[in-house]
Amino acid sequence: MFSKVYGCAVVGIGGKLIEVETDVANGLPSLTIVGLPDNAIKESRDRVRSAIKNSGFVFPQKRITINLAPAELKKEGSAFDLPIALGILACSGYISSQTINKHCFVGELSLDGDIRPAKGVLPMALTIKGNSGHSLCVPADNIQEAAVVDQIDTYPLENLQQTVDFINKVEDIQPFKVDIEEIFRMNSVYDVDFSDVKGQQHVKRAIEVAMGGGHNILMIGPPGAGKTMLARRIPTIMPDMTLEESLEVTRIHSIAGILPAGKGLIATRSFRAPHHTISDVALIGGTQLVRPGEVSLSHNGVLFLDELPEFRRNTLEVLRQPLEDGVVTISRASASHTYPSRFTLVAAMNPCPCGYFTHPVKACRCTPYQIQNYISKISGPLLDRIDIHVDVPALNYQEISDKSQPETSAVVKERINNVRRIQQERFKGRKIFCNAHMHAKEIKEHCQLDNQTQSLIKVAINSLGLSARAYDKILKIARTIADMEQVKNITAAHVSEAIQYRSMDRNFWGNK
Ligand SMILES: Nc1ncnc2c1ncn2[C@@H]1O[C@H](COP(=O)(O)OP(=O)(O)OP(=O)(O)O)[C@@H](O)[C@H]1O
Ligand SMILES: [Mg+2]
Ligand SMILES: [Zn+2]
């Protein structure tokens, strides 16, 4: 007897339809799986055998061979349990094989036949949508993420027995639908707000520019100035995501298997704040099974590195590729995968080891050598990739005791949303979502300068010794500032504000 059942494999951030072919022949009882399975799939033999028996079916005492095609693709994980079990049941005559081929099945089996959640269901659903006329049958726990993909039917499954009844049309299960607009409407509620932070108007402005255009930002200041406090409030002003952005982010979380329970779509931007002891692998991704790291989990959101110089230099160096290209490539012996990692970097640091180098009153106790050593942990190329550097001074008494009510996050977020809308319109259909992601071509097209502004930037470059990369960054930031004013042309005022944000290039430490 022979049967064919469809399953799906995750490949990088995409998926691939897999044919699970089962052949049951007379001979010594055995169960062999071929077609480059990993260990989890090999172990599937024992789970499938128990699940079939415990669901009330007879396991055939014959020679069973299972082939996962295409055979050359290496397959991972336990999500093939279900199609393998169904293939065996189809060969044993429990299932009418005409209807089984209309579906694609995903799920791990427990020994009693229950279907457990699988990783990467969203990329699988997107693959099925673009690929075949199949419907997708997934573990009930994964149904939310499968159902966000429109144009395909998705069915939630609880256990093996129910699945067989469903295929044989003994039990009717309706395709699951989710209301995507409703998910987006459910606004996240935060217990902190930008209005908690007193003073620091120019830092708030810099953060607004950063979030408005997706620019990386570094805050430098003495202890207690409010750097961590400000950064922790950034999620409350991050712009709303488009569905396209949201699907990209959810796909990565789906592969990592860390979608929150009952949540099919990540509708708010990620804010990841790894500790400075984080390993390269956890930051970039990797390990034996290829897994997305923090840089990918913060895709389209914010990666916050507090106390930047405390991170190991190596760890910071590996950030260079994702910062520049918006992707990370993780290679290992069997395969290499590329994951998206276009995050906005928010970093904070003190200006020196004791922290008080820029403090107006407290004296800094560090030697020039110590300061040099401290700063040199962050290499020039990394600094070059951070668009906005902003000084966060200590508050004076007047500012601390100020009773006036600063702007709330809701007001700031509304403005940022408006600025982002201008950019979405500008880059429609180009896979670019904000000004920070412009390439040379877009910069040329959208950052034209008049003569006066051109000469201003020339003076700045000559006197500050800016790199070509810094020049491009100034243009991009100036574009965002012009967008914030809703004007088409970049003016000298926009460019001079953008130049202000390159304080590290202006030799921050040399000029005290
Ligand atoms: N601008 C501010 N408005 C209101 N409270 C503030 C402000 N700045 C600091 N604080 C208070 O000081 C505390 C410490 O601030 P925060 O942790 O943000 O400092 P920091 O700049 O990150 O310092 P460090 O360099 O030591 O990490 C805050 O929890 C808050 O209570
Ligand atoms: Mg801090
Ligand atoms: Zn110091």
Which of 431, 451, 470 is the last residue before a domain boundary?
431
Residue 225 Cβ contacting ligand 1 at under 6 Å: yes
Q: How far is the CA of 95 from the centre of ligand 1 (A)?
A: 65
Kindly report the backbone phi and psi dihedral angles of residue 197, in degrees, each rounded to the nearest multiple of 5, phi listed first: -90, 120
Residues 60 and 157 in one domain: yes
Task: Give the 3-state secondary structure of 14-44.
Answer: EEEEEEEEEEEECCCCEEEEECCECHHHHCH
Domain count for the chain = 2
474 is a domain residue? no
Domain CATH code at residue 240 = 3.40.50.300
**What's the CA gap between 186 and 307, in Å, rounded?**
33
Residue 93 Cβ contacting ligand 1 at under 6 Å: no
Query: Which atom belonging to ligand 1 lies closest to the Cα atom of 199?
Result: 1
Domain CATH code at residue 157 = 3.30.230.10
Which of 127, 150, 167 is the last residue before a domain boundary?
167
460 is a domain residue? no
459 is a domain residue? no
Query: Which atom belonging to ligand 1 lies closest to the Cα atom of 350?
Result: 25
Q: What ligand is nearest to the CA atom of residue 375?
A: 3
- Residue 326 falls in which region: left (phi positive, over 0), alpha (psi -120 to 50) or beta: left
For residue range 72-126, list pLDDT tens digits in order: 888 887 899 999 999 999 999 999 767 888 999 999 999 999 999 998 999 999 9
Contact between 194 and 204 (Cβ < 8 Å) = yes
**What's the CA gap between 58 and 61, in Å, rounded?**
9
With a CB cutoff of 8 Å and minimum separation 6, the contacts of 340 are 13, 248, 252, 296, 299, 326, 327
Average pLDDT of each block of 10 consecutive residues along the chain (512 residues)? 92 89 93 83 88 95 93 83 95 85 94 93 89 87 90 94 93 89 72 90 95 95 92 90 87 85 82 92 76 90 93 88 88 78 94 88 90 83 86 85 87 95 91 90 93 88 78 93 95 92 64 40
Query: Which atom belonging to ligand 1 lies closest to the Cα atom of 349?
Result: 25
Q: What is the pTM of this model?
A: 0.82
468 is a domain residue? no
Rg (CA), the chain: 27
27 is a domain residue? yes
Domain that holds residue 95: 2-167
- The beta-carbon contacts of 151-156 under 8 Å, at least 24 apart in sequence, are 152/125, 152/128, 154/125, 155/103
Residue 195 Cβ contacting ligand 1 at under 6 Å: no
For residue range 214-228, list pLDDT tens digits in order: 999 999 999 999 999
Contact between 31 and 60 (Cβ < 8 Å) = no
Residue 228 Cβ contacting ligand 1 at under 6 Å: yes
Which of 431, 452, 475 is the last residue before a domain boundary?
431
Contact between 381 and 320 (Cβ < 8 Å) = yes
